[in-house]
Structure 1
Amino acid sequence: MTQIKIKLVKSVIDRPERQKRTIKALGLGKLGSVTEKENTPQIAGMVAAVQHLVEVTEL
């Protein structure tokens, strides 16, 4: 599988609890935090659910 880099670019304040939990499950915390994950179907689904809050680049 390929690696993807996920960066939190928008705040989770005033977002539904489900989106907050998804961001936390992806390993993101503060604004600007970055994590690298394997591009699995599960991770892709999580990213799709919060695509308006994150920036994704393929490595």
Structure 2
Amino acid sequence: MNKNSGKKVKVTQVVSAIRRREDQTSTLKGLGLKKLHQSRVLEDTPSVRGMIEKIKHLLKIEEVK
């Protein structure tokens, strides 16, 4: 079983995706973020963490218990 199982992370888009590279806008869509100030609660998995790391300058990240 994954050591991170059950943990969640809340991501909120705080910077616009306008004039960003295509891979960054695709990553936002992959996380389910479409609009500014939209939030999603996601499973804390290595793949999600990798996506967050790629666009962390566009996001606000919070741990959810």
Under TM normalisation by the shorter chain, which class is it? over 0.9
Residue in 1 that maps onto 2:48: 43
TM-score, normalized by length of structure 2?
Answer: 0.89
Deviations 1:17-43 (A, max 9, x none): 000000000000110000010000000
Q: Which has the greater radius of gyration?
A: 2
CA distance, structure 2, for counterparts of residue 29 and residue 7 of structure 1: 10
TM-score, normalized by length of structure 1?
Answer: 0.98
Residue in 2 that maps onto 1:56: 61
Of 29, 39, 55, which residue of structure 2 is paired with 1:24? Answer: 29
Q: Moved runs in structure 1, 4+ residues, more than 2 A?
A: none
Residue in 2 that maps onto 1:8: 13
CA distance, structure 1, for counterparts of residue 40 and residue 32 of structure 2: 6
- What is the RMSD computed on CA atoms of the aligned residues? 0.4
Give the paired residue count.
Answer: 59
CA distance, structure 2, for counterparts of residue 45 and residue 31 of structure 1: 21
CA distance, structure 2, for counterparts of residue 32 and residue 56 of structure 1: 12
CA distance, structure 1, for counterparts of residue 28 and residue 42 of structure 2: 13
- The percent identity for this pair of structures is 37
